[in-house]
Amino acid sequence: MLIDTAVSFRLNNDSEIYEANNNQIKKINKNITCEKMKTVSNETETIVTNDISTWSYFLKNDIKWKNAVILVVLHIIAIYGFITFPYIERYKTVLYMQFMIIFSGFGVTCGAHRFWSHRSFSAKLPLRILLATCFISASQVPVSAWVREHRVHHKFSETNADPHDSRRGFFFSHCGWLMLDKHPAVLQKSKTINMSDIEADPVVTFTDRYFKFLKLIVMFTTVAIPVYCWNESWYYAVMSQFLKFIYNSHSTWCLNSVAHMWGYKPYNRSIASADNSFVHLVTYGEGCHNYHHTFPSDYSTPEIGIGGFDVTTKLIHFFAKIGWAYNLKKSSTSLVERTIRSRGDANILSSALI
């Protein structure tokens, strides 16, 4: 375990936000105090990795046939819907679908990921409720299950305990892992993950307890909006949300597959996760995966490389300005630069802002 010292800035007014740029702290609002803190920058733990890879893994493990059939059927419907959807004619529904992609995606990238999994900032109750609503609209799994799986992924990346171990190939790490029983190491190491903060969050415990019911309500509401607001047919209202679900699922899965197999590694050459422009684009700014695995508690993406386009960070800034988000954690510029020089690719510094 490698521990680096980073500088973070605790805001003594909930409505404040800071930026670290060019070795300077840019104060957006007022009354900023700062304190030094220690942050774990690389929590990867090595465990036994003598396991089979790629398709042979499927042959030796129990397939969850129900999940496999559901995924296949969903994709057949999605392909049909994608080809036949009258995009121009139903442009209002297409725009609404686009909005819902960002709305649901925000629940995953900002809510389940940056807030609940990494605690990279603090959020007041209204924002936590909004994040939970956005997350439920993504129709994935309950928040606590998502967080546990993600924390295991970070701690045991590219080992048998990684739920979507990229060593087993693209298909497994993308969506194949959902069709198989979990590796015993995943189950074993999952139990070691500290979830006390999640169990203490009443928003999570409530949404987890009533997850299926809440999911149905959110699904019905999101489908009903185009029907009652601009007389969309039920068929295209449902199909648009269905296409949104498939898009969001694949963009999330790309982080586990594409961003762990291909891309640039400016911050840490020795890990599989990479900064990938394609993933950055389809996830609206989550593609700096080499940066993220190197500085997991950072609430944002870097200001260098491909990090500029990041919808989630911009929305976090907005919520910080209205006081709903605070204590934004940011890796200091000097720490990032030191890490690049010691473990990454110093060439990025020549074209960087730092």
To Zn ion, the closest distance from the beta carbon of 70 in angstroms equals: 25
To Zn ion, the closest distance from the beta carbon of 67 in angstroms equals: 21
For the stretch 189-194, contacts whose Cβ atoms lie closer than 8 Å and that sit 24 or more positions apart, written own/partner, are 189/47, 189/152, 189/155, 189/156, 189/161, 190/148, 190/149, 190/152, 190/161, 193/148, 193/151, 193/152, 193/155
Instruction: Give the residue nearest to Zn ion (CB).
Output: 273
To Zn ion, the closest distance from the beta carbon of 352 in angstroms equals: 23
Closer residue to Zn ion in complex, CB, 248/273: 273
Percent composition of the chain: helix, strand, coil (DSSP 3-state, to 5): 55, 10, 35
Closer residue to Zn ion in complex, CB, 152/243: 152
> What is the C-alpha separation between 180 and 316, in angstroms, rounded?
35
Closer residue to Zn ion in complex, CB, 222/301: 301
To Zn ion, the closest distance from the beta carbon of 345 in angstroms equals: 19
Closer residue to Zn ion in complex, CB, 218/274: 274
Q: Which stretch binds Zn ion (CB under 5 A): 57-65, 192-200, 271-279, 333-341?
A: 271-279
Closer residue to Zn ion in complex, CB, 214/254: 254
Pick out residues in 274-313 that bind Zn ion (CB under 5 A): none
Closer residue to Zn ion in complex, CB, 44/273: 273
Q: Which stretch binds Zn ion (CB under 5 A): 204-212, 219-227, 270-278, 336-344?
A: 270-278
To Zn ion, the closest distance from the beta carbon of 348 in angstroms equals: 20
Q: How many chain residues bind Zn ion (CB under 5 A)? A: 1
Q: Which stretch binds Zn ion (CB under 5 A): 73-81, 213-221, 269-277, 311-319?
A: 269-277
Do residues 134 and 106 make contact, with C-beta atoms less than 8 angstroms apart?
A: yes
Do residues 173 and 166 make contact, with C-beta atoms less than 8 angstroms apart?
A: yes
Q: Please tell me whether residue 312 adopts helix, strand or coil conformation.
A: helix
Closer residue to Zn ion in complex, CB, 133/273: 273
Q: Which stretch binds Zn ion (CB under 5 A): 24-32, 246-254, 273-281, 325-333?
A: 273-281
Closer residue to Zn ion in complex, CB, 133/166: 166
Q: Which stretch binds Zn ion (CB under 5 A): 29-37, 98-106, 266-274, 278-286?
A: 266-274
Pick out residues in 145-204 that bind Zn ion (CB under 5 A): none
Which residue, among 176, 159, 146, has the nearest Cα to 43 in the 3D structure?
Answer: 159
> What is the C-alpha separation between 135 and 30, in angstroms, rounded?
32
* Alpha carbon 295 to its chain's center: 14
- Segments of 100-192 assigned E as strands: 122-123
* Token digits of residue 42: 């690389």
To Zn ion, the closest distance from the beta carbon of 301 in angstroms equals: 12
> What is the C-alpha separation between 47 and 34, in angstroms, rounded?
37
To Zn ion, the closest distance from the beta carbon of 299 in angstroms equals: 11
User: How is residue 13 annotated by DSSP?
Assistant: S
- HSE-CB at 115 with a 13 A cutoff on CA atoms is 31
Closer residue to Zn ion in complex, CB, 210/253: 253
To Zn ion, the closest distance from the beta carbon of 166 in angstroms equals: 8
- Contact letters (x/-) for Zn ion, 220-259, by CB under 5 A? ----------------------------------------
Which residues are CB-neighbours of 203 under 8 A, at least 6 positions away? 125, 128, 129, 132
Neighbours of 309 (CB within 10 A): 14
To Zn ion, the closest distance from the beta carbon of 239 in angstroms equals: 31
Q: Which stretch binds Zn ion (CB under 5 A): 42-50, 267-275, 303-311, 346-354?
A: 267-275
**Taking the chain, what is the end-to-end CA distance rounded to the nearest angstrom?**
27
Pairing of strands 325-326, 122-123: antiparallel
Closer residue to Zn ion in complex, CB, 90/189: 189
Site of interaction with Zn ion (CB under 5 A):
273
